[in-house]
Amino acid sequence: MSAQELAANAQAMVSEGKGILAIDESNGTCNKRFQKLGIPTTEEARQAYRQMLLTAPGIGEFISGPILYDETIRQSTKDGTPFVKVITDAGMLPGIKVDTGAKELAGHPDEKVTEGLDGLRDRLAEYYQMGARFAKWRAVITIGEGIPSRACIEVNAHALARYAALCQEASIVPIVEPEVLMDGDHTIERCYEVTEEVLRTVFNQLITQGVVLEQMVLKPNMVISAQDCPQQASVDQVAEATVRCLLRTVPAAVPGIAFLSGGQSNELATANLNAMNAKYGSKLPWKLTFSYGRALQQPSLESWKGEKANVPTAQQKLAHRAKCNSAAATGSYSEEMEKQMAAV
């Protein structure tokens, strides 16, 4: 694939009013979510769930592509259509999570480093053959007493850049995801400080290692107050701090930034994205959109509960969140849109 095609795919991933659907939970994480709702933790149930999501009518209008897990990219619908074909037939690009998880960082208690570089070149070649056109690698940075350490930030940034360079070599667009967690009780100011340092370090490594910025998508956290912080920043404060942080750290050559939801409530994740685009959208050099997991799937999963009879309602719930976030990606979301769904 030519450099132009890679850049065109990166742009397609963040094209006007479209975002990414993260359904790349590992089997362990997917099973945990199923267990809470009494859904069997079997391959069959995971297939049925992903089929329900991927075949939701009309999602191709709001979603540029889903991120799949290794098990999922190899699966088909019950009637034998490969998921990759379902995705491309809906006008979307197939994506694949390629990291193998965040593991304890030696010598640094409570900090993690993401693994998965060994053998990655061969895995990427196989995924490309299977139809994957973009990939994801998630690094995890925890804020706490005396952390994150420089070591944690540097090793994760280094690995993200090594992954991204390998992806581009394999004609796959890398989603570069350095996630500063919202766990804890830190303030929005502390989140800003850490996110800024992390993004600076990540771009430093991307540039050092020759990653082509036009051929990638950044997937950061928003700059927000931690879950247990007594002072919760407002939607306007989150929008202002996040945009300021990104303008100071993300080169204009990057086509788009697709946020993770990170544990924010569904509607807050939408409102925060909307505020950024409504207030600052016209002044930004890159697209700001979503690459949500929980904030897109949760209402749908809760409606589905593993029952075939619930599929149409569960699909409507997914399409609704996708539509609201699509509107937020252009700054045109409103509370009215939520009420429309409540009336269905």
Residue 126 makes CB contacts below 8 A (sequence gap 6+) with none
The answer to whether residue 22 forms part of the interface with ligand 13P (CB under 6 A) is yes
Contact, 58 vs 12, CB < 8 A?
Answer: no
Neighbour-count burial of 82, counting CB atoms closer than 10 A to its CB (0-12 exposed, 13-18 middle, 19+ buried): middle
Q: Which is nearer to ligand 13P, 220 or 262 (CB)?
A: 262
Task: Indicate which single residue of 293, 321, 325, 329 sits in contact with ligand 13P (rule: CB under 6 A).
Answer: 293
The answer to whether residue 262 forms part of the interface with ligand 13P (CB under 6 A) is yes
Select from 36-44, 192-200, 288-296, 327-335 the region that touches ligand 13P (CB under 6 A): 288-296
Q: Which is nearer to ligand 13P, 32 or 78 (CB)?
A: 32
Q: Which is nearer to ligand 13P, 85 or 111 (CB)?
A: 111
Longest dimension (CA), the chain: 54
Select from 58-66, 202-210, 290-298, 315-323 the region that touches ligand 13P (CB under 6 A): 290-298
Select from 57-65, 145-153, 208-216, 289-297 the region that touches ligand 13P (CB under 6 A): 289-297
Select from 57-65, 114-122, 161-169, 254-262 the region that touches ligand 13P (CB under 6 A): 254-262
Cα separation of the two ends of the chain:
45
The answer to whether residue 19 forms part of the interface with ligand 13P (CB under 6 A) is no
- Kindly name the residue from 219, 287, 317, 323 that is annotated as catalytic: 219
Active site residue 279: no
Q: Which is nearer to ligand 13P, 286 or 292 (CB)?
A: 292
Residue 254 makes CB contacts below 8 A (sequence gap 6+) with 213, 214, 216, 217, 218, 286
At its nearest, how many Å lie between ligand 13P and the CB of residue 3? 26
The answer to whether residue 294 forms part of the interface with ligand 13P (CB under 6 A) is yes
**Any idea of the CA torsion for 303, 75, 3, 249, to the nearest 10 degrees?**
40
Q: Which two tokens stand for residue 184?
A: 């804890």
Please choose, from the candidates 284, 337, 319, the residue with its C-alpha nearest in 3D space to the C-alpha of residue 14. 284
At its nearest, how many Å lie between ligand 13P and the CB of residue 25? 8
Active site residue 115: no
**Alpha helix locations (H) across 131-174?**
150-169
- Kindly name the residue from 25, 177, 179, 240 that is annotated as catalytic: 177
CA 116 to chain centre: 18
Q: Give the C-alpha distances (Å, rounded to integers) separating 163 from 123, 138, 229.
A: 12, 10, 34
Q: Which is nearer to ligand 13P, 220 or 255 (CB)?
A: 220
Q: Which two tokens stand for residue 114?
A: 């993401």
Residue numbers 128-187 binding ligand 13P by CB under 6 A: 138, 177
Rounded CA-CA distance 9/46 in Å is 28
Task: Please work out the total of residues on this chain that contact ligand 13P, with binding judged by CB under 6 A.
Answer: 10
Q: Which two tokens stand for residue 60?
A: 């191709």
Q: Which is nearer to ligand 13P, 223 or 260 (CB)?
A: 260
At its nearest, how many Å lie between ligand 13P and the CB of residue 343? 27
Task: Indicate which single residue of 39, 191, 295, 319 sits in contact with ligand 13P (rule: CB under 6 A).
Answer: 295
Rounded CA-CA distance 254/279 in Å is 20
- Using the structure block, give the residue that is written with the tokens 């807050």: 268
The answer to whether residue 226 forms part of the interface with ligand 13P (CB under 6 A) is no
The answer to whether residue 14 forms part of the interface with ligand 13P (CB under 6 A) is no
At its nearest, how many Å lie between ligand 13P and the CB of residue 333? 17
Q: Give the C-alpha distances (Å, rounded to integers) separating 207 from 127, 175, 177.
A: 25, 15, 16
H or E element at residue 283: none
Contact, 134 vs 65, CB < 8 A?
Answer: yes
At its nearest, how many Å lie between ligand 13P and the CB of residue 69? 11
Binding residues for ligand 13P, rule: CB under 6 A, are: 22, 138, 177, 260-262, 292-295
Q: State the catalytic residues.
A: 177, 219
